[in-house]
Homo-oligomer: A and B are copies of this chain.
Amino acid sequence: MRAFLIGRWQPFHKGHLEIIKKISAEVDEIIVGIGSCQKSHTLTDPFTAGERMMMITKTLENYDINYYAIPIIDIDYNAVWVSSVESLTPPFTTIYTGNSLVRELFSERNYVVKKPELYNRTDYSGTKIRKKMLEGSAWEHLVPEEVVKVIEEIDGINRIRRLSEKDYDEE
């Protein structure tokens, strides 16, 4: 059985890793969708799809998990989104999601929809981690070691800080 899990992974953190490890124990193969793949260089979505692909691949190659990591573009057309995902992925029957829109769209197409079991939400949250990156607090312990390396390779912390500078507006 193949299952699909979609997220934005901005960045990929240890909570994400735990979810994937749990799901992979239940399925043969897991497809990790990299959502909003065209977004990057904002405070909410700082990393490109390629950078997030690298975070996921580098981390998961340390585990015995059968997975595909696939960028998924946002389409502002809910009724065709499932078809678009299907064209980019191997066939699957189950989707893990906590998002009500994604659940509804896949339910109407007769997929089995499950909720992923979240892991320590107090610490492992993309929003909180990006906030720490911006403020200069420690964030490295919240993500896999390989993700730290990727963010260093791309100078990601400085990108986030520069993006947060106040606009000096010539409007």
Contacts and interface: CB of A to CB of B under 8 A. Distances in A.
Interface residues of A, number: 67
Contact of A42 (B51, B84, B101): B101
Contacts of A78: 39-42
Copy count, this protein chain: 6
21 contacts: A16-B170, A38-B87, A39-B78, A40-B78, A41-B78, A41-B101, A50-B90, A53-B70, A53-B88, A53-B90, A54-B68, A70-B71, A73-B73, A98-B170, A100-B165, A100-B166, A103-B165, A104-B162, A108-B159, A118-B170, A125-B171
Given A76-B38, A88-B48, A90-B53, A71 B68 contact: no
